[in-house]
Amino acid sequence: MANVAADQLLDDECRIWWARPDQVPKSLLTTVVPEAEQRRAGRYRQRVDRLRSLTGAWLLRTAVARITGERPGDVLIDRTCADCGQQHGRPRLPDAVGIEVSVSHAGSLVAVALTRLGDVGVDVEHAPLIGHFDHELAENTLSARELAALSDQPGIDFPRLWVRKEALLKATGRGLRMPMSRIEVTPADRPPSLLAWPLGIPVDQVRLADLTPGQRHHAAVAVLTGAPLRVHELHADLLL
C-alpha cells in the first residue's frame, strides 16, 4: 500500500480504497449513508449483498469527503440511470468537484476508485474455486484472439481478463449492456491494455491497470484518459 496523503488527490492519481464489508460498524454505516441510499441497498435480495452495497456507499462518501473536507453524509452523489432515470446507475459527483468515481463489490471486498483524469471503472470479482474454468462462459465473453491466447492455466487467465473488461465497461457507463466479447484486451500475463472495442474512443485514450485485492479475488481499474496513470491502493482502516 502506497504512503500518500489521503486528503489530496493528485492530478495523475487513480486512488483505490479497499474495505471489507464486516469492518465498518453498522452505526457508522447508517449515520453516514442517507436513508434513500440505504433503501437502494435494500433492493439486493441477499443480506451479504446489501451489506457490501451499503459499505460501498459508505466508502465512496467517506473517501470523497476526505478530499473535499465535507461531512461524508453531505457528499452529493447522483446515480441517475441512463436507461430509466432511476437512482440505480453509475455514481457521479457534481462536475465542480472534478473527481470521477466508481464502486464494485464481491466476496469479502468492496472497492472504490477516484481520479481526476477521466471516467473511471473498477471491478472486483471473487474466485472461490482457484483455477476453475467455465469454457462456455469464456466462449461468450472472449474474442477469438483472446481465446487462442489463453495459457495452459485458463482458470487463472480468465478472471483476470474478465475484470479488465468489466472495468472498461463500467468506465464507459454502459455496464454489461455491451457484450464483453466486443472488447479485446492484452493476454492475462502481459501488462493490461485495451486492444480494440467498438466505441469511438481511440484505444490510446484508455488506461487499464490490474489491482492487488489479495487472495481469491481479482480486480482491475480502467480510466478514459490518454495521460499516464499512477494507481495507489489504500485500505479503509485509514478511514475508521
Ligand X SMILES: CC(C)(COP(=O)(O)OP(=O)(O)OC[C@H]1O[C@@H](n2cnc3c(N)ncnc32)[C@H](O)[C@@H]1OP(=O)(O)O)[C@@H](O)C(=O)NCCC(=O)NCCS
Positions touching ligand X (CB under 6 A) are 53, 56, 81, 83-84, 89-91, 102-106, 121, 123, 166, 169-170, 173, 175-177
CB 105 within 8 A of CB 21: yes
Whole-number Å distance between alpha carbons of 147 and 162: 12
Q: How far is the CB of 121 from ligand X (least distance, A)?
A: 6
Q: How far apart are CA 223 and CA 9, in angstroms?
A: 15
Based on CB atoms, which residue is closest to ligand X, 81 or 130?
A: 81
In angstroms, what is the minimal distance from the CB of 101 to ligand X? Answer: 9
CB 106 within 8 A of CB 88: no
Q: Which of 67, 89, 66 is nearest to 78 (CA)?
A: 89
Nearer to ligand X, 89 or 187 (CB): 89
Strands 13-19, 230-235: pairing is parallel
Phi, psi for residue 187 in degrees, rounded to 5: -55, 155
Phi-psi sector, 167: left (phi>0), alpha (psi -120 to 50), beta: alpha
- Name the residue nearer to ligand X (CB basis): 140 or 153: 140
Smallest gap, in angstroms, from Cβ of residue 44 to ligand X?
Answer: 8
| Gyration radius of the chain over CA positions | 17
Whichever of 95 and 152 has its CB closer to ligand X, that residue is 95
Pick between residue 72 and residue 91 the one whose CB is nearest to ligand X: 91
Query: What element of type H or E holds 67?
Result: helix 47-68
Is 90 or 217 the residue whose CB approaches ligand X more closely?
90
Minimum distance from CB of 182 to ligand X (Å)?
14
- How near is the Cβ of 10 to ligand X at its closest, in Å? 23
* Residue nearest to ligand X according to CB distances in the complex: 175
Q: Output the CA–CA distances (angstroms, integers) from residue 51 to 17, 21, 22, 106, 225, in the order listed.
A: 17, 6, 8, 11, 32
CB of residue 152 to ligand X, shortest distance in Å: 28
